[in-house]
């Protein structure tokens, strides 16, 4: 499902919305991977399309902090898209670290901001889908029980607001080997099982495996090499939704 924007000259770009928390925003270290330099890849800044460069989703400080904005999975997603289709692709960064699914419900500021940015991008691009990675913040006794209901409600609301009933929605699994100091217990494994239930219940939705991916020493964020691989997996999931 692609939503047409109004400007035919600029509609060569297919755009994707980035939402979720820190593993979507990206916390990868820059020195661990080569930068992606693809002239077909763009990101939206100040309402205009600019050549893609990382950090794409700077939701936190970049220097002199442990949990810094950095390499993200969508850079390799966009690169894979551009190489496969030989077409321009654009990213709409709206992820925010440390946020729960409750904060992404319709009416909440993160949801409203993402809808605003997606609609703004749709004026100068074809809208291709939503990329989501979130769940660590909900791996606890208080939030887990309502997660499925809340995520499905969010997906439905985004599709309604963007007037696209079957808009592709791609979800990444959580890492299941996070540092035990975070006291997630077995919730990451439960969360991944829950995501696959949602995949079966929600049309045009695909879950991406995190199997074999590695974390940074902080024990919660995927490292740069794994984020590059994760982005490729997201793109392969997108192709599956297109039946290619």
156-189 pLDDT, tens per residue? 999 999 999 999 999 999 999 999 999 999 999 9
Whether 87 contacts 40, CB under 8 Å: yes
Q: What confidence tens digit (pLDDT) does each residue in 198-230 have?
A: 999 999 999 999 999 999 999 999 999 999 999
pLDDT at 64 (0 to 100)? 86
The CATH number of whichever domain residue 155 belongs to comes to: 3.40.50.1110
Order of strands across the sheet that contains 41-45? 48-51, 41-45, 89-93, 14-20, 126-133, 169-172, 205-208
pLDDT at 73 (0 to 100)? 98
Residue 90, both tokens: 């654009």
The answer to which of 6-20, 40-54, 60-74, 177-191 has the lowest mean pLDDT is 6-20
Is the model's pLDDT at 10 over the cut of 90? no
Is 226 contained in some domain?
A: yes
**Domain limits for position 22:** 14-241
Q: Which of 26, 33, 57, 31 is nearest to 44 (CA)?
A: 57
Cα maximum dimension of the chain: 52
Is 4 contained in some domain?
A: no
For the four alpha carbons of 112, 116, 121 and 126, in that order, the dihedral sign comes to positive
Is 20 contained in some domain?
A: yes
pLDDT at 9 (0 to 100)? 47
pLDDT at 228 (0 to 100)? 98
Is 67 contained in some domain?
A: yes
Is 112 contained in some domain?
A: yes
Is 19 contained in some domain?
A: yes
Is 68 contained in some domain?
A: yes
Total domain count for the chain?
1
DSSP conformation class of 50: E
pTM for the model stands at 0.94
Per-residue pLDDT band for 65 (boundaries 50, 70, 90) equals: confident
Residue 86, both tokens: 């030989």
Is 6 contained in some domain?
A: no
pLDDT at 3 (0 to 100)? 42
């Amino acid at each position: 499902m692609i939503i047409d924007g109004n400007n035919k000259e600029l509609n060569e770009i297919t755009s994707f919305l980035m939402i979720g928390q820190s593993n979507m925003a990206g916390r990868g270290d820059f020195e661990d991977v080569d930068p992606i330099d693809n002239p077909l890849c763009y990101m939206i800044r100040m309402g205009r399309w600019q050549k893609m460069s990382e950090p794409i989703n700077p939701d936190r400080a970049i220097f002199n902090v442990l949990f810094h904005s950095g390499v993200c999975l969508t850079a390799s997603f966009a690169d894979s898209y551009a190489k496969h289709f030989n077409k321009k692709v654009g990213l709409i960064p709206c992820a925010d670290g440390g946020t729960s699914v409750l904060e992404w419900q319709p009416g909440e500021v993160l949801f409203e901001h993402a809808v605003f940015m997606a609609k703004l991008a749709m004026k100068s691009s074809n809208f291709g889908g939503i990329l989501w990675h979130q769940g660590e913040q909900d791996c606890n006794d208080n939030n887990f029980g309502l997660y499925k209901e809340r995520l499905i409600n969010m997906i439905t609301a985004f599709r309604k607001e963007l007037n696209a009933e079957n808009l592709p929605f791609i979800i990444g699994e959580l890492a299941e080997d996070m540092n035990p100091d975070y006291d997630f217990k077995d919730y990451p494994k439960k969360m991944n099982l829950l995501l696959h239930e949602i995949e079966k219940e929600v049309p045009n939705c695909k879950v991406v495996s995190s199997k074999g991916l590695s974390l940074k020493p902080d024990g919660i964020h995927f490292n740069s090499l794994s984020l590059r691989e994760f982005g490729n997996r997201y793109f392969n999931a997108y192709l599956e939704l297109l039946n290619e």
